Structure 1
Amino acid sequence: MTTTATHLRTIALHWTDLHDAAGQPAQVGAFGLGLRGYLARLDAADRDEFNYDRAHAAHLRTQERDPLQIGERPVPVRLHILDTMRAVEAALIACADDIAHAAQRAPIAGPTARRTATHPYLTQREADIAAADRARRTQLAHADLVDPRRWRYTGRRTAPHAALWLLARIERKPGPCRRITEDEERRIGTVAAGAADRVERALDIAAQRRTLEQRCACGGAIDVHGGEGRVPVAHCTGCGRIWTEGGVIAA
């Protein structure tokens, strides 16, 4: 069984891969991309998904330019990858914000200045001891404020940072936080599972299986298998017909 920690590590480790993939042309053979062009008429529910044929045609149009033109061609952007990144980052940051609000303690307060006009030190030694104590408490307060284990509501708010911070909470690592509750752990688990699934589907690094709503001509259900870099294949559970991107290979 895949754990929440594994989901969070998957997101953190593959975030750079998503950045790279966002600027690359869509890959033929990714699950639900190339085959979907062939099976589009069989599955109306997939109309809102990324259409490989349309994106590939748009990419080819960018290559239709006068050879006398100079400069680099624009890099095609894969919008479904960018949408995945935005959705995953928003979900993880919102989850980290909520967990931090409930479980993270406030920074240690620094020392207040003593009013020596009304409360003077009796000796220089007493004044030196008080000054050293204030310096120590000031240093501790500053260290606690800038503790890298503290979740912040401004500044570094990225998906991998949120994933690693939530991972530390799941693994009960030390930091300026109390131990999270079972409900909080379940909340993190739900968000992490959904986010990791989006990342894996976007990068085509997980095996997938989907049953299309549209049925085969024989009335049987059509299952599509793919992912993990494999060429997707559709199989009718009724008549046994098998499709690939090239057409029917068995009937």
Structure 2
Amino acid sequence: MNTTPTTAQQLQQIARLWPDLHDALGDRTQHAWPPPQLRDYLTGLDRLDTEEQEARRHQAAALRALERSPDQLGTRPVPISLRVHDTMRMVEAALLDTADRIARSVQRAPMQPPPPARAAVARTRADRVRWEDRARRVEQARQDAADPRRWHATGSGRTAIRAALWLSGRASGSSGPFRPLSAVEEQHLARVAAGALARVEAALDLADARRELTAEHPCQCGGTIEVYGGAGARPVARCKGCGAIWHEGGVVAA
């Protein structure tokens, strides 16, 4: 049975997880991957590798700039997780841009109301029919323009959750003032949804993760060490050469 989530399901999951990102925004703990404790055990080093050091320097500089920003409310800086903040900023920008692009392509323009007409007394039945028909068309145009299923390029509804749910509707072919997505549009939306969900899950430590340590930190046998875990599981390292396995507490098997 195929358990791979559809594009619509991935977008719905982003919307469900977005409040969790807001909650995690106040957590400044940086969850490096692989975990530094396991890396230190494996390598016997007191420092992180060059890549992680550089990332930490950038994060520290960005945090200092944020704390000095005059836009901050109050007299003290608001502590936030830059990792979560950057994820939210990038994912929201990607979803809004994708919604804008797809709406320009698939969303039908609102119905045009009839041209203005001078008020007049309906003297005959035919006059009454014409005025009633005109009033009906005016109301139809108003309701069509105000259809809540429409995506708007401006306004207060431009949020990550709203964009994710609107795009989910387009991916599932929900009814509304739209044409179906083309194959190219479906593929593009699928890539955006998968990438955005991966970033959200990584920020919340919900996804499985796997990474090889650099060549500077090989196993004693000379083999490459691979670290895997995530999604709440304790990280484990395994040598792809001799098969030795470690976790943060020590050697599991050799």
TM interval, short-chain normalised: 0.7 to 0.9
1:141 aligns with 2:141: yes
Question: Conserved in 2, the CA contact under 8 Å of 1:209 and 1:226?
Answer: yes
| Partner Cα separation in structure 2 for residue 232 and residue 50 of structure 1 | 21
Amino acid at match of 2:34: G
Alignment partners' CA distance in 2, 1:48 and 1:189: 32
Inter-partner Cα distance in structure 2 for 1:121 and 1:42: 84
Identity %: 48
In 2, the alpha carbon distance for the partners of 1:140 and 1:169 equals 23
Pair 35,92 (structure 1): closer, same or farther in 2 beyond 3 Å: farther
Q: Distance in 1 between matches of 2:140 and 2:54?
A: 54
Indicate the residue corresponding to 1:131 in structure 2: 131
Q: How does 1:151-190 map to 2 (within 5 A)?
A: 151-155=151-155, 156-190=157-191
2:229 and 2:236 in contact (8 A); partners too: yes
After TM superposition, the structure 1 stretch with the greater mean CA deviation from structure 2, 239-248 or 141-150, is 239-248
Report the Cα distance in structure 1 between the residues aligned to 2:13 and 2:37, rounded to whole angstroms.
26
Match of 2:114 in 1: 111
Q: Is 1:78 the equivalent of 2:81? A: yes
CA deviation profile, 1:160-196 (whole Å, cap 9, x unmatched): 1111111111111101111110110001001001001
Q: Which residue of 1 aligns with 2:105?
A: 102
Deviations 1:182-230 (A, max 9, x none): 1100010010010010011111111111112234143211111111112
Task: Give the counterpart letter for 2:214 in structure 1.
Answer: E
Give yes or no for contact 2:18–2:161 (8 Å, CA) kept in 1: yes
Distance in 1 of aligned mates of 2:123 and 2:38: 85
TM normalised by structure 2 equals: 0.78
Q: What TM-score do you get using the length of structure 1 for normalisation? A: 0.79
Equivalent position SS for 2:181: coil
The CA distance in 1 between the partners of 2:244 and 2:30, in whole Å, is 25
Q: 1:59-92: per-residue Cα shift (whole Å, max 9, x none)? A: xxxxxxxxxxxxxx97631101010001111111
- The separation in 1 between residues aligned to 2:250 and 2:131, in whole angstroms, is 82
Alignment: residue pair count: 231
Offset of residue 105 of structure 1: 1.0
Q: CA deviation at 1:242?
A: 3.7
In structure 2, what is the equivalent of residue 212 of structure 1? 213
Deviation of residue 236 (structure 1)? 2.0
- Could you tell me which residue of structure 1 aligns to residue 233 of structure 2? 230
* CA 175–85 in structure 1, closer or farther in 2 if over 3 Å, else same: same
Partner residue of 1:21?
24
Query: 2:238·2:244 contact (CA, 8 Å) conserved in 1?
Result: yes
Residue segments in structure 1 that go unaligned for 5+ positions in a row:
59-72
Partner Cα distance (2:55, 2:18) in 1: 22
Please state how far the C-alpha of 1:8 moved relative to its aligned partner: 0.9
Aligned 8 A contact 1:209 1:225 in 2: yes
Instruction: Extract structure 1 runs of 4+ deviating beyond 6 A.
Output: none
Over the aligned positions, Cα root-mean-square deviation in angstroms equals 3.1
Query: Are residues 1:3 and 2:6 paired?
Result: yes
